[in-house]
Chain A
């Protein structure tokens, strides 16, 4: 595959250059011909109801813009695999996909590589969007990504087992323990502990609660701060003391979801998508679910920001039409419809209309958590920073090292990455 990638990269580069030249050459003459039929390729993730919502939005868009046809290219449901195929496409200089759904952590990398287009030229109106989401799309003071839907890693709890949701980590432990003492089959806290991105977002929640951060305001790494060591020690103790089962060291969102929906967990970290599933008929925890910002201890409530935004390929032949599509998809009414069909939480406040809240009342609780949405570091080097944090977490959870040593090592590695000689 590697060789193939390289082959495509260069050969498509030539092809891309050729098409670009052709486009530029054609520019002069084609401006007069307005009623041109245009096909946009829209690369996006999502299956089931998410795909349904995308199809409906695209069909409505085509109705308003009869000269634009949108071809949906479905990317792998696995974020890593989707990222890899996008990197392959974009590095080759291909003109398609024109519009791309991007995880909030990708735009900085894409922008630094000059694969996507700055959007300020289209004068986007951003006042209605959640500021954290907007911030995740800004690189070197230019906006590169329009927020599409927001996601936060928050804390789920069982309203029948815990009277008032905990606001401190100590309280979370005592609440969990008292529920566990009444029913020994329960686990206190389910969280994502596998070596992957989800473990980093959980750690960010706890780290922020203890007053820690990954990078400071100057962009320097502060991974081995006393606050972060405390945070990682807290998570590690949850595993060691049986508050969280050992098996959680291999868990991703799906496993945490399973543990919580089956009624086995008092608390669980997860994303908003879980809420409608929990309230679905037949769910073991229907009507017994609450979603709150993660607790604190000397820090501020921190809910790691996820979600998707839309970016435009720099080599697209139809930037104006691509922007039309982005604008349509990120409008309040499209977002509201998407929320109704698929449960994806709108990235703008004005989409949380009375009719949405009536059909899906949990969005009200979710909205309260979005206030604390905190983006992961917005830098093209984030994937490497994250990999080092993942290694540190995994090494600690598996008992190979202590939180202090692991984070010291991560600090060094991330420092080296930022100094441009890392591994």
Chain B
């Protein structure tokens, strides 16, 4: 009920002309809003940027998360403490962690600037947020910092379901560590990988707060993502009809992506069993 009501309401709203600053003019427009949005270059530009962000951030987070999971899966002292502490970034609200990274990337007093300077690396005195390409770096770093632990946690859970004996027998058969990782760990981890990827891909599609806090979509429109566009339609234009339309389109994309993943998961699943 709680999730269905707003969803249905949103779909209904998306078929209406409903601009809050023009009370009394709300009326049914059928698929008019969809036609308007789908033929809009601005919308597709934002979708494109969101897609690139999704691929880059999920790939990086996945690789980092996998390494992290493999590390904390090993036996070592204070393992419980380390496992618990990697979750800290994930427990911090995105808006807060984004603000933190905004300060880190500050040109005059930021930590990043200081570190690059100390290490004699290029990039010191850089105004990160004033470059259409480099402005993505703080966004992706902030997003990675926050979400890598989540992937690591899911993969760690997956790793723990793999019985240790099979590694034992692989070693006896003369398999190298890399070979057993490729032919044992990865395939057996597939369900966990799929779950992690589905979660992260979908939330990357809906990315909003990091961008809102760090760049406001700037400089120009170079970091504007689709959820930002939707926010703009609702709360700047106060155009609830079009805002709802964008929300419905995002929902459809999200469902399609999830369906795609589930299909992949099922096909591979047959392999496993």
| A contact residues vs B (CB 8 Å cutoff) | 2-7, 10, 83-84, 87, 91, 109, 112-114, 194-196, 246-247, 249-250, 380-381, 383-384, 387, 390-391, 394-395, 397-398, 400-401, 421-423
- What A residues does B7 contact at CB under 8 A? 3
**Contact at B127–A249, with CB atoms within 8 Å?**
yes
How far, in Å, is A197 (CB) from chain B's closest CB? 10
Whether B236 is near chain A, meaning CB under 8 Å from some CB there, is yes
Q: Looking at A195, A250, A421, which has the most chain B CB atoms within 10 Å of its CB?
A: A250
**Quick one: closest A residue to B5, CB to CB?**
A7
**Closest chain A CB from B188 CB (angstroms):** 38
Complex contact A113–B23 (CB within 8 A): yes
Residues of B within 8 A of A250 (CB): 106-107, 127, 129-130
Smallest beta-carbon distance A421→chain B, Å: 8
| Chain A, interface SS category | helix
Judge whether B222 and A2 touch: CB under 8 Å. no
Apart from A6-B13, A10-B9, A250-B107, 8 more pairs, CB < 8 Å: A2-B230, A2-B234, A5-B234, A84-B235, A112-B22, A195-B216, A383-B236, A398-B219
Who on chain A is nearest to B231 by CB?
A: A2
Find out whether the CB atom of B6 lies under 8 angstroms from the CB atom of A249: no
Residues of chain B contacted by A10 (CB below 8 angstroms) = 9
**B185 on the interface (CB 8 Å rule)?**
no
Look across to chain A and name the residue whose beta carbon is closest to the beta carbon of B222: A400
User: Are B132 and A400 within 8 A (Cβ)?
Assistant: yes
On whether A195 and B215 interact (CB within 8 A), knowing A247-B127, A387-B236, the answer reads yes
Q: Chain B contacts of A422 at CB under 8 A?
A: 237
**B1-51 interface with A by 8 A CB criterion:** 3, 5-7, 9-10, 13, 20-23, 36, 40, 42
Q: Find B217's partner among A113, A114, A195, A421 (CB 8 Å cutoff).
A: A195
Would B130 and A397 count as touching, CB distance under 8 A?
yes
Cross-interface CB contact of B221 among A7, A114, A383, A395, cutoff 8 Å: A395
A6 contacts which of B10, B108, B230 (Cβ < 8 Å)? B10
- One digit per residue, 1 when the CB lies within 8 angstroms of any chain A CB and 0 when it does not, for chain B 118-146 equals 00000000010111100000000000000
Chain A residues with Cβ under 8 A from B189's Cβ?
none
Residues of the B chain whose Cβ atoms lie less than 8 Å from the Cβ of A87: 20, 235, 238
B232 touches A400 (CB 8 A): no
Taken together as a complex, chains A and B put the C-alpha atoms of A134 and B222 apart, in Å, by 38
Residues of B within 8 A of A4 (CB): 6
Rounded to whole Å, the gap between the CB of B98 and the closest CB of chain A is: 14
- Closest residue on chain A to residue B113 by CB atoms: A247
Bound-state CA distance A3–B131 (Å) is 34
Which of A383, A394, A421 contacts B219 (CB under 8 A)?
A: A394
Is the beta-carbon distance between B235 and A246 smaller than 8 angstroms? no
CA distance A394 to B231 in the complex (A): 19
CB closest chain-A residue, reference B24: A114
Judged by a CB distance under 8 angstroms, whether B247 is at the interface is yes
Indicate whether B218 reaches chain A with its CB closer than 8 angstroms. Answer: yes
Q: Is the CB of A401 within 8 A of B6?
A: no
Q: Give the residue of A5, A195, A423 whose beta carbon is less than 8 angstroms from that of B218.
A: A195
Contact A391 B127 (CB under 8 A): no
For residue B269, CB closer than 8 A to chain A, the reply is no
Contact B220–A384 (Cβ < 8 Å): no
Q: Are A196 and B216 in contact (CB under 8 A)?
A: yes
Nearest-neighbor residue (CB-CB) of A193 within chain B: B130
B23 and A391 within 8 A (CB) = no
CA A195 to CA B216, docked complex, whole Å: 7
How far, in angstroms, from A65 to B194 measured CA to CA in the complex?
65
Q: Given A6-B9, A246-B130: A395 and B219 within 8 A (CB)?
A: yes
B223's closest neighbor in chain A, by CB? A195
* Complex alpha-carbon distance, A380 and B22, angstroms: 9
Contact: A394 with B107, CB < 8 Å?
A: no
Question: Separation in Å of the B1 CB from the closest CB of chain A?
Answer: 11
Instruction: Tell me if A7 and B6 are in contact (CB < 8 A).
Output: yes
Q: List 12 A-B pairs, Cβ < 8 Å.
A: A2-B230, A6-B10, A112-B22, A113-B20, A113-B23, A195-B218, A246-B107, A384-B237, A390-B218, A395-B219, A395-B220, A395-B221
